[in-house]
């Protein structure tokens, strides 16, 4: 089943100034050095956020003054920080857009703080499943055994994931 198409407007190549800004925002968010270059990436607007597009796919999301890699972006860049790890039983729910419950989380990156954008990974392969916003600090997430811990924003199979996929 293919999700309905994400509506993107004002798609255009990024310029040198934007490339420098996006590299800075992504580096701050992920503690990883990015080298986006003018002309090789595009920027566009959707209803709720702006996006960075690479080779026809959404590479990153621009959420206000914060940038975060999309799930496709995370598949191409191995990050060591900013993750929440879930057990295998949580995967079907996450891939259907559910928020991540504390009971399904078995490990977190130690620097996670409340309100931070995080990426959700599986426990076996450490592959990205989604992006969300932490509702608790990392330590609180591990100590809690019930309730929401991560507000889901983007996941495998949603409109952002499907953008650019040919039928």
For the chain, the domains span 9-76, 83-159
Mean pLDDT of 39-58: 93
Mean pLDDT of 145-161: 95
Is 9-76 in CATH node 3.10.450? yes
Tokens of 73: 């972006």
CA distance 124 to 91: 11
Q: Which of 6-10, 87-91, 107-111, 136-140 has the lowest mean pLDDT?
A: 6-10
pLDDT > 90 in the chain, percent: 83
What is the per-residue pLDDT for 2? 43
pLDDT higher than 80, residue 61: yes
Strand partners, 132: 118, 152
Q: Tens digits of per-residue pLDDT, 86-114?
A: 999 999 999 999 999 999 999 999 899 99
What is the per-residue pLDDT for 31? 85
Own/partner long-range contacts of 107-114 (Cβ < 8 Å, ≥24 apart): 107/142, 108/83, 108/84, 108/138, 108/141, 108/142, 109/80, 109/81, 109/82, 109/83, 109/84, 109/138, 110/138, 111/81, 111/82, 111/138, 112/82, 112/84, 112/137, 112/138, 112/141, 113/137, 113/138, 114/140
Please state which CATH number belongs to domain 83-159.
2.30.130.10
What is the per-residue pLDDT for 58? 95
Q: Tens digits of per-residue pLDDT, 26-44?
A: 999 888 889 999 989 999 9
Overall pTM > 0.75: yes
Question: Would you place residue 6 in the very low, low, confident or very high pLDDT band (cuts 50, 70, 90)?
Answer: confident
pLDDT higher than 90, residue 164: no
What is the per-residue pLDDT for 4? 57
């Amino acid at each position: 089943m293919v999700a309905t198409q994400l509506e993107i407007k004002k798609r255009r190549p990024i310029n040198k100034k934007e490339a420098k800004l996006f590299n800075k925002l992504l580096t701050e968010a992920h503690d990883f050095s990015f080298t986006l270059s003018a002309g090789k990436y595009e920027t566009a607007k959707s209803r709720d956020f702006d996006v960075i597009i690479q080779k026809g796919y959404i590479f990153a999301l621009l959420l206000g003054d914060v940038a975060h890699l999309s799930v496709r972006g995370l598949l191409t860049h191995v990050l060591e920080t900013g993750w929440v790890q879930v057990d295998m039983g949580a995967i079907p729910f996450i891939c259907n857009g559910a928020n991540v419950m504390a009971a399904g989380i078995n490990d977190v990156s130690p620097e996670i703080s409340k309100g931070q954008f995080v990426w959700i990974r599986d426990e076996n392969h450490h592959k990205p499943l989604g992006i969300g916003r932490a509702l608790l600090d990392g330590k609180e997430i591990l100590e809690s055994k019930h309730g929401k811990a991560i507000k889901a924003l983007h996941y495998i199979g949603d409109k952002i994931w499907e953008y650019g996929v040919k039928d």
